Amino acid sequence: MSAALHQLSAGLRPFASRLQAGQPLSDPAQMVRARQQVEIEHGRWPPTPPPGTILDAVDEFRRAGTAATFRDLKYVCFGASALDRDGWCLLAESHLLREVTDLVARQREMRRRLLCFQALLSSYWTFPLNGRQTGPESKSGWIELREWLSVEHRRILLAHEPKPPWFAALTHHIGLLSDRPCDAFGAALMRGDPSGLPEAVESLAIPKDSWVMEEVVVAQMRAGCALRDGAFSEVLPDLIATALGRRGLDVVESIKVRSVALLVTRYARCTERPEHMALRDAAVSVIGNPWLRRPNWDAWVRDAAGKPDNHSREMVNGWLKRRLITDFFELLSVDGAGVRRRVEYWLRHEPAIEDMWFALGSDARARRGEQFDDFRSRAKGRLLDLGGTTADNNAFVMRVDRYLLVEFGAHGNAMYVVDWNTLSEPLLDVLHSGRARAGVHIRLLRPGPDDYVQRMIHMDSLDQTWEEKFDAYLVPGIVGRPAVPPRRVAAGAAKKVAQQPASAKPQRRYFTQSNWEAFVREHKLQVVDHRASQGALWVRGAAQPRHIASQLHAWGFTRRDPKGWCKE
C-alpha cells in the first residue's frame, strides 16, 4: 500500500469505528453525536468539563499523586492552571506538574496523547498570568508547562500519525510557546495587519480573557518602540490609547503599567523629546507621580540594563513640575499681567526644585472646571488648604537645596526664603503629612522678620527687573545658574534713564567705567584687567559678600571658583 493510501486509511479508521453496520443513520440524535465525536477527535476543540468536576479531579490528584483513569488524567490536564479558593493551582508545585506530564507521555495511543496535550494547552491559555492572586511559584510552573508543550509539540509533529487541524494551527503560531509569545502579533498590528490574532484565537480556542489578549498589547508596545524616532512619535498617540484600553480592549492594570513604562523609556531615548502631554498624563495616572512614588517608578520603569531609568523619571518629573507651575500661576494667581513673568521665572529654575506644595485659598478650592480638576489631579498629595488669609490668595511652596521658598499668588505679596532647618514642627508636619488636603495657616508660611533668610518683592527698578534682582540673590548660593537668562530691563526704562538731565547723578547699577572704578574703590576690590589685550576683567576672590556678588552678577560677571569673578 502506498504512503498516501496508508495515510488515508489511518484517517478513515475513526470514522469506521463509529459507523458500524446496521446503525440507523437516519436517527438525527445519533448523527449529531457522531458528528460531535468526529469534531472532537479530528478538528474542533473539545468542550471544557464543568469547573466543579475539574477541581474535584485536581484535588484528588493532589492527594493521591496520580490519576486513577484516563478520564481523571484528562480532567487534571484541563485544571492544571485553575486556582482554588486559596489561590493555589497545580502549576505551583513542580513535582505534581512533572507527574502529570509523565503520565501523558506514557500514553501509547496518539489520540489520548493529543487529547491530554490539548487539555494542557487549554490550561496554558487560561492561566491567570497577570492576576493579583497569581504567585511566583505558579508563574514558574506556567513557564515549565510552556517549555513542555513546546518539546511535546515537536515530538508529536515528528510522529507519523495524522494530526487534527488545530495542531496545524498551533504549528503555524508556534511562537505562542516561546518566551515572547505575542511578538509576531504585535509586529503585525504595527504593520496594519490584524488578521493573525483572530485566526489564532479561533483555531486554538484561546479565551477572550486569556493572557494572550493582554500580552498582545505589550507586544504592540515593543513593536512600536522598535521604530525609529520619527515613526515612533507618529504612532505614539495610538499606542498610548491602546495601552490605556481605549481601543476596545479591556486592559488590566498591570498591563497598563508595563505598556506605559515601555513608552516612557522609549520616548526618553528620542533625540528630541518635547513635553508630550498625553504621555505625561498617562504616566502619572498609571505609574504615579514620579517624585512622590519613586519606588514604584524604579520598580517598573527600567533601562536596557534592567536598572531604574533615572533619565525617564526625571523627564516626566520635569514635565509634571513645569505643568503644575504653569497651572498654578495661570489658573490661581490674581497677579494679572505679572502672571506670565512669574511663570517664566520659575520655569527657568524648575530643575533645581526638589519638591513642591500648593496651598490654596477658599476661592481656588471652590473653583470647578476641567482645567482646575486636572490641576488638582496632577497635584494630588501636594495640595494644602491655606487659611488665615484672603479668599483669593494662594501660595506656591518649593524646596530647593536646604531652603524653603514661598511665593504667594496675590498681588503685592513677597517671596520668602527660609532655611529648611529652622522650619517649625507644625509646618514640617503639614509638609510631610501626605494627606490629601492638609490645612496650613498663613502664619506658618509667611515668616516674621527674624525667621526668614530673605524677603523679595516683585518690583522692577529703572535699571533692574525683579527677575534680575531675584537671580542676583538666588543663583549664586541657592538655585544655581539656569540655562535661560532672566528678563532684562525694558527698553522704555532704559530710554527714560537716557533722557535724564546731564546734571543727574549717574546710576551706579549701569556698567560704565566711572561707575566701575567707584565701585572698586568703595569696596577695595582686587582687580586684574586684561581688556586692553582682548582678555577678561577679573575680580580676585570668589567668596564676596552678597551685595557685591549681586552687583557683579548684574553687570555680567561670572563666578569662577576659586579664582574670582570674570567678565569676558
What does the domain layout of the chain look like in residue ranges?
51-172, 329-458, 469-567
pLDDT mean over 457-474: 89
Q: What is the model's pLDDT at position 29?
A: 57
pLDDT in tens, 539-564: 888 888 877 887 887 777 888 877 88
Question: In the predicted model, is pLDDT for residue 193 greater than 90?
Answer: no
Cα separation of 347 and 467, whole Å? 12
Q: Which pLDDT does position 19 carry in this prediction?
A: 47
Is pLDDT above 80 for 296?
Answer: yes
- Which tens digits make up the pLDDT trace of 392-429? 889 999 999 999 999 987 666 789 999 999 999 999 99
Peptide bond into 562 cis (omega under 30): yes
Residue 367 — pLDDT band, cuts 50, 70, 90? confident
pLDDT in tens, 57-107: 999 999 998 899 999 999 999 999 988 888 899 999 999 999 999 999 999
Residue in this structure with the C-alpha cell 470647578, named with its chain if needed: 368
pLDDT tens per residue across span 146-185: 999 999 999 999 998 899 999 999 999 999 999 999 999 9
Task: Give me the pLDDT at residue 396, please.
Answer: 94
Using CA atoms in the order 522, 525, 529, 531, what is the torsion angle rounded to 10 degrees?
A: -50
Alpha helix ranges (H) inside 269-367 = 277-286, 294-300, 310-332, 339-348, 362-366
Edge-to-edge strand ranges of the sheet holding 527-529: 527-529, 537-540, 564-567, 558-560
Query: Per mean pLDDT, which range of 200-214, 492-506, 529-543 is the poorest?
Result: 492-506
pLDDT at 388 over 70: yes
Going through 156-222 in order, the beta strands assigned E by DSSP cover none
- Cα 374 to Cα 277: distance, rounded to the nearest angstrom: 12
pLDDT at residue number 517 = 79
pLDDT, tens only, 505-536: 333 445 667 778 788 888 888 888 877 666 78
Give the integer Cα–Cα distance in Å for 330 and 251. 36
Q: How many residues does the chain have?
A: 568
Global pTM value: 0.70
> Is residue 20 predicted with pLDDT exceeding 80?
no
Q: What interhelical angle do 94-105 and 51-64 show, nearest 10?
A: 100
The β-bridge partners of 419 are: 403
